């Protein structure tokens, strides 16, 4: 069975076969499930936190909190070391070349905006082209709308095929010698479809000189990502979707790009030397980390990465694949229920609409049955409107979900149909 070493804040799974056999009960490592009798199916919005993460953040404030990088006393040195150890942990987690390529932000949204304001506004020119997809989260669309308008560039959108699936042919047709930036999600939060990122990157690099930004917010808690293998220029994600604290994000960027990009924010910490008239900016990665950060949150994020690594992303992925297959199989036979996105291609989440029942009414009904799901446009309004709807219902999984959870939500949906119809 699994165990937690509270001394080192590490999650240890001694019998990993239990995960493959769908027997491991993850819920007991998440305190919220001992105080709330809820079937939680909204992990795509934010995941729950294991005890090790909660204790790591609390432990920072209780035992070693102070500001970082500035003090020379023992407490400050200990906090700085713990903070920088998380940076190294992130580097290893995504296999970046150097810890200097890891920038801490408040979340994936800020990470994308950092690239938009610093790279986009300085290296995208008039008549250049930026390629996105119809499936992008607003955070990976609005910044590029802004850059395109400000710089006189063209924003091109890749739509879905007739099966509501990503089309490499459609994507390739958008690439030209004017393409300078490709910004694309790895896993679409409004559909649950994993895009063929490696093929997308290869096509882009073969046919253009464009830089590539990958929104990895929805993928990193479910599957291993490797920056050396992918070869993208920018990759962003948020800690709170990987069982970590909120208010912590990551921007990975190739070192040669970070060196030519100006700072996003200015002020304390991101400077090396300041006079009344001139400033010399700090070395990487601190050049992009102005001000006092979320110190305790970053330190606790290491515990989240250790939890995921201790279990193994391959085991988590296998566990969730069983659940999403069961969910899709059981939902698609419900009369009047339509699953959005290509059939049998969903990863960790799926969205659906139910005939004659508002998603908001459905969510309220399910909540009264002890089942928590997300409804709305999921910060992907262009996608939902493109599919012909104003809103949809979304079920998204975490490692703590079980086959019993799937049975409960399906039963609750069927009960809702009887109630409303």
- Residues marked active site are found at 379
Q: Does the N-terminal peptide bond of residue 137 adopt cis geometry, omega within 30 degrees of 0?
A: no
CA angle 228, 230, 235 (to 5 degrees): 95
Is residue 234 within 8 Å of residue 214, measured between CB atoms? Answer: yes
Which is nearest to 369 in space by CA: 313, 317, 411?
411
Indicate the angle between helix axes 359-368 and 403-420, nearest 10 degrees.
Answer: 120
d(CA 382, CA 389): 10
CB 254 within 8 A of CB 119: no
């Amino acid at each position: 069975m699994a165990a937690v070493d509270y001394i080192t804040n590490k999650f240890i799974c001694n019998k990993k076969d239990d995960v493959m056999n769908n027997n491991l009960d993850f819920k007991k490592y998440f305190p919220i499930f001992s105080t709330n009798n809820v079937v939680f199916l909204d992990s795509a919005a934010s995941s729950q936190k294991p005890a090790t993460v909660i204790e790591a953040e609390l432990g920072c404030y209780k035992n070693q909190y102070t500001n970082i990088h500035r003090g020379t006393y023992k407490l400050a040195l200990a906090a700085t070391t713990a903070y920088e150890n998380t940076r190294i942990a992130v580097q290893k987690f995504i296999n970046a070349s150097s810890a200097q390529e890891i920038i801490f932000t408040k979340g994936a949204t800020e990470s994308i905006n950092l690239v938009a304001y610093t790279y986009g506004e300085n290296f995208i020119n008039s008549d250049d082209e930026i390629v996105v997809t119809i499936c992008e989260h607003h955070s990976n669309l609005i910044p590029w709308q802004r850059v395109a308008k400000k710089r006189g560039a063209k924003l091109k959108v890749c739509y879905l095929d007739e099966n509501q699936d990503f089309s490499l042919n459609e994507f390739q047709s958008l690439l030209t010698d004017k393409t300078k930036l490709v910004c694309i999600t790895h896993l679409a939060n409004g559909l649950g479809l994993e895009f063929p990122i490696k093929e997308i990157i290869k096509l882009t690099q073969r046919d253009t000189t464009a830089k590539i930004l990958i929104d990895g917010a929805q993928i990193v808690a479910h599957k291993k990502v490797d920056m050396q293998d992918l070869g993208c220029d920018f990759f962003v994600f948020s800690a709170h979707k990987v069982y970590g604290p909120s208010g912590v994000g990551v921007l990975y960027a190739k070192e040669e790009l970070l060196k030519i990009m100006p700072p996003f924010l200015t002020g304390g910490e991101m400077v090396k030397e300041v006079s009344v008239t001139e400033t010399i900016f700090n070395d990487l990665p601190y050049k992009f980390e102005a001000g006092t950060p979320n110190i305790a949150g970053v330190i606790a994020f290491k515990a989240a990465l250790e939890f995921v690594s201790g279990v193994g992303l391959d085991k988590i992925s296998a566990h969730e694949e069983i659940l999403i297959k069961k969910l899709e199989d059981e939902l698609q036979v419900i009369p009047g229920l339509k699953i959005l996105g290509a059939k049998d291609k969903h990863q960790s989440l799926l969205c659906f609409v139910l005939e004659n029942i508002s998603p908001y009414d459905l969510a309220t009904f399910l909540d009264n049955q002890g089942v928590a799901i997300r409804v709305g446009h999921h910060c992907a309004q262009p996608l939902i409107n493109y599919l012909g709807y104003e809103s949809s219902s979304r079920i998204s999984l975490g490692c703590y979900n079980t086959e019993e959870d799937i049975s409960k939500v399906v039963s609750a949906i069927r009960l809702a149909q009887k109630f409303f119809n």
